[in-house]
Structure 1
């Protein structure tokens, strides 16, 4: 675990970072994305077990394998970023071709590029519960957070964790109060937020996390679950991969190789959790015990699949509260309709 984040009271830098990110996002909407040539693909991922399918794809060189089946030698470039805003900026600026982020950032970028770059999801990365955890014993529900608390999440107002928190707030206080807790949230990468929550002693008393960071935090007896995303939507796909319409159309063989590689990785991870755990440790160099990791992955609520599940309730909510302008009629509006995934929600 990295050293505790040297953190709050230095909240100002989060505000500055957020403002810069939003500015970059706005400017990138005006700049044309530069598509890579057929035979090249640049992929941006974030942190956590939810990106394990990409670890398998990378470790087994599956894109290259399926590219060769199409008579194509594919060059694959990998990068790691934190937060949906940074991911969206990278995609729209043409720095990456495939973006990995939550359903929240997907719906934001789908809405803002509607009729232009037409960004849509390629596939899900699986179904996983996300926990909002806290080390403040007074916080039993989201209604208990006060001005003295700060909640870490990957990107304020954009990340899927932020959107889940807004959905929960609307459920409790009504749609007009959907952003009631936004003022308590700060953008902190999952590893740093986990370390800070475990160490305690800062204003950071909450973290809307993802696996394995939420499970690592819960090993501390002072940390407890405040909210489970499955309580909001049931089993759902929180994290997806998305791309511009131009990349998909201009690079059909590369795109197909990527989709086929991801489907093979999902089948591998779901059938052999032990091998999947080994892959995660090998690729990410994560400092987590293999037995502990395997216990997390063996959670029956985890499912590695490219087929999206229960993403539409969040999309409908975001339109209802005005967070996105365009209302999708179904999940098919913001997912490319390829051979895989075949059925979703």
Structure 2
């Protein structure tokens, strides 16, 4: 198994994307039939990999009498996603539930960002290669926890919820000072190699599977499921009210494509593994990817699960100003037909 390093050109690509975003801030919205989507790295984005590979958005667009051109981008971190969405460089972005909720909260009455669909319920594991760290209480100022977006991303917000529970609401940022921003591939490489500044990583699949398999010193400290009290949505898609309202046919075709991909994966796991490897240029063995897809902890579904827990807890610690009465308040109505929480 080999890891894909975060090459300098990827960082450059993000910079270019954001430059385009700033230039596009005053540009008119795309007309129906045009969609720009961004995803991050890892098998948590398998639904999008299938949608892209099988051209499902184009398929559902044609069924509605619309030719849809889809542009795909792959970048790391919620901060870059949010900046590009608000600047108009992307129409649909993906990140963890907490950063999506923060953007919903901060754009109420303005861009009115809302969530489109879940991308699955998959745990994140907080890993460490430091033998002295068995629980969260064991982390010290000398440790460094790698996360994709320190302080603001899914992993940091999840740690903030747990820190508030353990150490009191005033100490919810306890782990922010020892967290650093690093894409999952780089963080995994650092954790496996050992002897580096980064000795912990709040990791998503397939990366925590790799780290646990390749370095016997790497161990799980806690998982997001343990913090949230059970299976919960990891990543979601979200967009602005402007794009949603101006592109009803494109939006409907995209949502239908997501739902089809989610229904297709459980019945075609071997093909889904091949699609992940192909779309993300992964060098992981097919049987290793299939093992991840087979893991009962991982559910590829568009139905949100326990997002309300994030909404409530982040409001309690002051990250969110608005209190959502229901998950339907921050999801667009197309998602309301499915079960959710």
For the Cα contact (< 8 Å) 2:188–2:211, is it kept in 1? yes
Q: Which runs of 5+ in 2 are unaligned?
A: none
Residue of structure 2 in register with 1:303 after alignment:
299
Whole-Å separation in 1 of the counterparts to 2:277 and 2:216:
25
The structural deviation recorded for 1:75 is 0.4
Residue of structure 2 in register with 1:194 after alignment:
188
Residue of structure 1 in register with 2:83 after alignment:
89
Q: Does residue 1:73 correspond to 2:61, yes or no?
A: no
Whole-Å separation in 2 of the counterparts to 1:126 and 1:76:
22
Which of residues 34, 58, 77 is equivalent to 1:64? 58
Whole-Å separation in 1 of the counterparts to 2:157 and 2:263:
29
Residue of structure 2 in register with 1:227 after alignment:
222
Q: Does residue 1:237 correspond to 2:233, yes or no?
A: yes
For the Cα contact (< 8 Å) 1:83–1:101, is it kept in 2? yes
Q: Describe the SS at the equivalent of 2:159.
A: helix
Question: What TM-score does the superposition give when structure 2 sets the normalisation length?
Answer: 0.92
The structural deviation recorded for 1:270 is 2.1
Q: Over residues 203-233 of structure 1, what are the superposed CA-to-partner deviations in whole Å (9 max), with x where a residue is unaligned?
A: 1011001000011011121100001111122
For the Cα contact (< 8 Å) 1:4–1:196, is it kept in 2? no
For the Cα contact (< 8 Å) 2:135–2:222, is it kept in 1? yes
Q: Which runs of 5+ in 1 are unaligned?
A: 7-16
For the Cα contact (< 8 Å) 2:6–2:185, is it kept in 1? no
Q: Describe the SS at the equivalent of 1:338.
A: helix
Whole-Å separation in 2 of the counterparts to 1:4 and 1:32:
35
Residue of structure 1 in register with 2:40 after alignment:
46
Whole-Å separation in 2 of the counterparts to 1:34 and 1:266:
32
Whole-Å separation in 2 of the counterparts to 1:287 and 1:167:
35
Q: Number of aligned residue pairs: give it.
A: 328
Which of residues 203, 207, 211 is equivalent to 1:213? 207
The structural deviation recorded for 1:5 is 8.2
Whole-Å separation in 1 of the counterparts to 2:225 and 2:253:
32
Structure 2 CA distance for partners of 1:283 and 1:82, relative to 1, 3 Å: same
The structural deviation recorded for 1:342 is 1.9
For the Cα contact (< 8 Å) 1:263–1:340, is it kept in 2? no
The structural deviation recorded for 1:32 is 5.9
Structure 2 CA distance for partners of 1:34 and 1:102, relative to 1, 3 Å: farther
The structural deviation recorded for 1:282 is 1.2
Whole-Å separation in 1 of the counterparts to 2:26 and 2:121:
33
The structural deviation recorded for 1:340 is 5.8
Structure 2 CA distance for partners of 1:105 and 1:200, relative to 1, 3 Å: same
For the Cα contact (< 8 Å) 2:116–2:335, is it kept in 1? no
The structural deviation recorded for 1:339 is 5.6
Q: Does residue 1:323 correspond to 2:319, yes or no?
A: yes
Q: CA RMSD in A?
A: 2.1
